Structures are given as structure tokens and as C-alpha cells.
Amino acid sequence: MPLALTSRKSLKDNEESLKTNLALIEKSLGETFTIEFDFEDIITKCNDSWVTNSCGSIFYKDVVSNLAKNIAKVGADPLIKEAFLAAVPNRKFIFICADEKLPSYWKYQFENGDCQVLFRPKICNTNDINIFKLETIIPTEGVYTLMTHNLAAVKKALKSSVDWSIDETSLETVYPKVADDLKNSFGHIFAGIVEKVAANLTKRCADEMILEAVQEVTSKQTIVIKHDGNMSGYWSWAFESGNIVITFKSITNTNDVQTFDFIKLL
């Protein structure tokens, strides 16, 4: 069924807003992207004269503007940006009108190489599109990219000739200890922990004596993750059996990994 004249006029009147916001997205990501709407489906499901008559200003001007603001934050972090691009090989955003059972007004998901944005038929809370932290749901291939980059940063900090790795068995062991509401973000959380390990090493190992001392106690070039619910702080470092061992009590105050003074352990 063709769109009503008021709908078509609203979309035409707001085409420049769409082009402007899409240009901002492409600038943030450094890649050409497309945005897809099925307005016949959206207008039918919303069944609201406001959406019918103002679909252009709602979606092209408001919704895509909030998307562009969020993507600007993604693009500002090189690691998150690369992970996002790895997760969206089709370089496409698709907006999909779901139903009232959707758990939130707006929901991002990565499916079939696209970044999909689902929403309830009752259009509201469009700022949620902007404030949602996309890095918390980047799928496996994106998280792998983050982890690989962060391990490379550890290697660089220690001037190592051998690639560093994270002990997969240790990650599997601590997974049950993470709160249920964080399990979907588990990979990204620990990619972030490795990033903080790298930052700490980069800072303190700028001193050649400290660098040499760390090199001597990290012969296995591996980061091991452990959990200890009884430790006094939230995060600690140790050098054990040629590994860097990062132990946590709970997933909070993660910046402690970056500020921990491991020099006293050498």
C-alpha cells in the first residue's frame, strides 16, 4: 500500500536531515553506510496519525540524529570503532518496528552483518538510541578484534618479540562468578581489562629497570584471570609462573587494574 501524501511529504521535507546525519555517521566510522526503513510496515504497525504525518521529522531528523550521536562515541574510540566495523560487514543500519513485548523502547542488535535498531510501535524515549553503550553488545567477532588489539598493546609495552595471549581456561573458570546481568558483556569486559593492563604496563615500564624486571617474570607472555570473593580490594595483580595474574572480587572499579602499583611485587 503506497504511503499517504502527508507521509511522503514529511519524508521529502526531512531528506536533508537524513543526509546530514548519515554524513556524520560516515565521518565517525570512516566508511560508507546505508540506513534502511520500511515505512509502510512502520506506519501500519504504529497506527498513529502522528507517526503517519510526521514520519520524516521523527525518524530522519530525531531518531537518526540520536543514532549519529551514539556512533560519534563509537568512532571516538579506535578499538570500539574497529570492533563495531568488524561486526557490521554490510555497513548497514536497519530500523525495525517490533511489538509492545520488546523489553525496552529501543534495542540494538547485530544480525546477519547489519546493525539493527528495533523499537516499540509507541514512539518515545528516542534519546535511548544515543545513550545506549553499543560496546556492551558487540558480538564475538568484534570482541575478538578488541582483545587482539589490547594484547598487542601489552606486547608493545613490554617490547616483547612474542605475541601475548589471555588464558582461555581461566576465563571459562571465572565466567560463572560474574553477575548474570553482565554475562552478555563478558567478552567486552575482559577485553577492557586487558586494555587497562596494557595502559598500566605502558606507563610503568617506560622505566627501563622496571621493564627488565617485568620481562624477567613474564616468560610465558600470558594473562591469567582469577576470582577471589574474599580479597580486600576489587582487583589485584600478581606475577606467577611466568604469567601476569589479574584477580578480581567483582566487576566494579575496573580502573583499579590500570592504577595498581605492581612495582612493589617485583
The whole-number pLDDT of residue 142 equals 60
Q: What is the mean pLDDT of each run of 10 residues along the chain (266 residues)?
A: 92 98 98 97 96 97 98 89 89 96 94 95 96 82 74 96 94 90 81 94 97 97 96 96 97 95 96
- In DSSP terms, 92 is beta-bridged to 34
Q: What is the pTM of this model?
A: 0.63
The per-residue b/e assignment along 114-139, b for 16 or more CB within 10 angstroms, e otherwise, is bbbbbbbbebeebebbbebebbebbb
Whole-angstrom Cα distance, residue 50 to residue 34?
25
Other Cβ atoms within 10 Å of 109 Cβ, number: 13
* Residue pointed to by grid coordinates 593492563: 197
Whole-angstrom Cα distance, residue 168 to residue 148?
13
The whole-number pLDDT of residue 118 equals 97
Q: Which of 22, 39, 36 has the alpha carbon at shortest distance from 93?
A: 36
Phi, psi of 158 (to 5 degrees): -95, 5
The whole-number pLDDT of residue 93 equals 98
Cβ contact 22:35 at 8 Å? yes
Residue 141 in grid coordinates: 567477532
Whole-angstrom Cα distance, residue 248 to residue 225?
8
The whole-number pLDDT of residue 83 equals 83
The whole-number pLDDT of residue 36 equals 98
Print the SS3 string covering 125-163. CCCHHHHCCHHHHCCHHHHHHHHHHHHHHHHHHCCCCCC
Whole-angstrom Cα distance, residue 19 to residue 61?
10
